[in-house]
Structure 1
Amino acid sequence: MRLLFNIVWWVLFGWLVALIFYVLGTVLTLLVVTAPIGLGLMEYGKFLLAPFSREMISEAKFQLDADKNLAWKAYSGVVMIVYVLCAGIWLALGVALSAFAQAITIVGLPNAYVLAKSLGTVFNPVGKKCVSKAVSDELKRRAASQKVDEMTR
């Protein structure tokens, strides 16, 4: 089923959306000052190549950013605030309107689902990572297991 939905995504120009976000991320990374945003948007572009086989996760939520430099984390936070205020709101609004327009048609429902589920990444791409469904499921399972361990102590 995932393969079928990925094919529908590609046929309905999902590849173009992926390309746009990947190129935007590359440009922002090359500008150096906006590198945290660019890296996040490149991960989002990678996600959009096969959105039904991958997921976007927050590195901070699963403690995947423990080895990152503290200065880089602080800088990323400042850049993220500027991005959200200047562009994140507008990009998220555009993606939400696109999802709504595609949801009107039956054929566009899978695409609308992908865009709606990834609104958080468009709004704030800093610190997000594209992983396969299996990796995402395993990280969620480990987090749930850890929470159960904490509750039973």
Structure 2
Amino acid sequence: MRTLLNVIWLVFAGAWLALGYVLAGIVCCVLIVTIPFGVASFRIAAYALWPFGRTVVRDPDAGVPSVVGNVIWFVVAGLWLAIGHVVTAVPLFVSIIGIPLGVANLKLIPVSLLPLGARIVDVDDPEAFYRR
């Protein structure tokens, strides 16, 4: 079932979302100072391509640089990305087949708000939550 939902997601929403995150990552990597944001954008892009069967966990040892980076990210891009995810989730919820896709879109909000210090892991691998 996850594979089917991921394929439908990829066609209707995932490819466009991932492309946007990849373009943002390229821009961030060109501007040398923002390379950590570029790496985070590429990580979110991979998650946006295939979200079903994966989840986001916070790294408790991320530290102060992660917090400072997340505050900057939230102000510059995170809030707007979250609003975009909510706005695109609403039409998906209107159709019955789009409800799981809307849920997946809302699932991207936490990592789009605060990407630094987050890990994306498979839900089938319970030990992945504890591994580094």
TM-score, normalised by the number of residues in structure 2: 0.83
SS at match of 1:56: strand
2:127 alignment partner in structure 1:
138
* 1:110 and 2:96 are equivalent in the alignment: no
Moved over 3 A (4+): 73-76
In structure 1, how many angstroms separate the alpha carbons of the residues matched to 2:93 and 2:111? 20
2:42 alignment partner in structure 1:
42
Structure 1: gaps (5+ residues): 66-72, 144-153
In structure 2, how many angstroms separate the alpha carbons of the residues matched to 1:56 and 1:29? 23
In structure 1, how many angstroms separate the alpha carbons of the residues matched to 2:109 and 2:81? 9
The Cα RMSD (Å) is: 2.2
In structure 2, how many angstroms separate the alpha carbons of the residues matched to 1:40 and 1:80? 11
Cα deviation for residue 121 of structure 1 reads: 0.6
In structure 1, how many angstroms separate the alpha carbons of the residues matched to 2:22 and 2:42? 5
Cα deviation for residue 126 of structure 1 reads: 1.1
Q: Which amino acid aligns with 2:41?
A: L
Superposed, 1:24-43 pairs within 5 Å as 24-43=24-43
1:120 alignment partner in structure 2:
110
Aligned residues of 1:26 and 1:38 also touching (Cα < 8 A): yes
1:19 alignment partner in structure 2:
19
In structure 2, how many angstroms separate the alpha carbons of the residues matched to 1:115 and 1:13? 9
- Further displaced range: 22-31 or 85-94: 22-31
Cα deviation for residue 33 of structure 1 reads: 1.8
Structure 1 residues 53 and 44, CA, compared in 2 at 3 Å: closer, same or farther?
same
Aligned residues of 2:9 and 2:101 also touching (Cα < 8 A): yes
Larger Rg: 1
Output one character per residue of 1:81-128: Cα deviation in whole Å (capped at 9) or x when no partner.
Answer: 122123211111111111122111112212211111121111111122
Structure 1 residues 105 and 16, CA, compared in 2 at 3 Å: closer, same or farther?
same
TM-score, normalised by the number of residues in structure 1: 0.73
1:56 alignment partner in structure 2:
56
Q: Which amino acid aligns with 1:10?
A: L
Output one character per residue of 1:25-81: Cα deviation in whole Å (capped at 9) or x when no partner.
Answer: 2321331222222221211111122111322222x23x5x5xxxxxxx544432321
In structure 2, how many angstroms separate the alpha carbons of the residues matched to 1:121 and 1:13? 17
Structure 2: gaps (5+ residues): none
